[in-house]
Amino acid sequence: MIETGYFGQKKNYPESDVLVCVARKFPWFIDRLDMVWLSELAPSQDLLDDWKQKEITWDTYTERFIKEMDQPLKQKAIRSLRRDDITYRLMCWEKTPPCHRFILKDLILKDGGSEEK
């Protein structure tokens, strides 16, 4: 199963969840042993800058992010999160949508990925 979360709420998630940092920078206040870091699933700096500078719409951001994820290393990381017996919680800095982790969740669940129950 795939869930989403953000770093500031880490203590509120079930201990059984596997926390997966999908941000470019690992949070300084979280122990590296408490979370898996898949930085390859973060948006590129160019994409992030374009979004933060309001140079693109969310639809354009989504299209570009999906295109960025269509690379062998990134696809391998996505496939690694497709297990029905584990709850993976995608973690990032943004408290609420929009955030790439929601797009990423859809990509993981797509094409035979874990279905939420």
d(CA 34, CA 80): 18
Residue 37: predicted pLDDT: 96
Residue 26: predicted pLDDT: 95
Residue 74 belongs to some domain of the structure: yes
Residue 117 belongs to some domain of the structure: no
User: Phi, psi (5° rounding) for residue 3?
Assistant: -125, 170
In three-state secondary structure terms, 6 is strand
Summarised one tens digit per residue, pLDDT across range 72-93 is 999 999 999 998 899 999 999 9
Residue 115 belongs to some domain of the structure: no
Q: Which position has the higher pLDDT, 22 or 115?
A: 22
Residue 71: predicted pLDDT: 93
Number of domains in the chain: 1
Residue 92: predicted pLDDT: 94
Residue 111: predicted pLDDT: 64
Residue 116 belongs to some domain of the structure: no
Does residue 40 have a pLDDT over 50? yes
Considering the entire predicted model, what is its pTM? 0.88
| Domain extent for 18 | 2-109
Please, which residues have CB within 8 angstroms of residue 69's CB and are 6 or more apart in sequence?
41, 75, 78, 104, 107
The pLDDT of 5-32, averaged and rounded, is: 93
Maximum C-alpha span of the chain: 40
How far does the chain reach from its first CA to its final CA, in angstroms? 7
Does residue 42 have a pLDDT over 90? yes
Does residue 115 have a pLDDT over 50? no
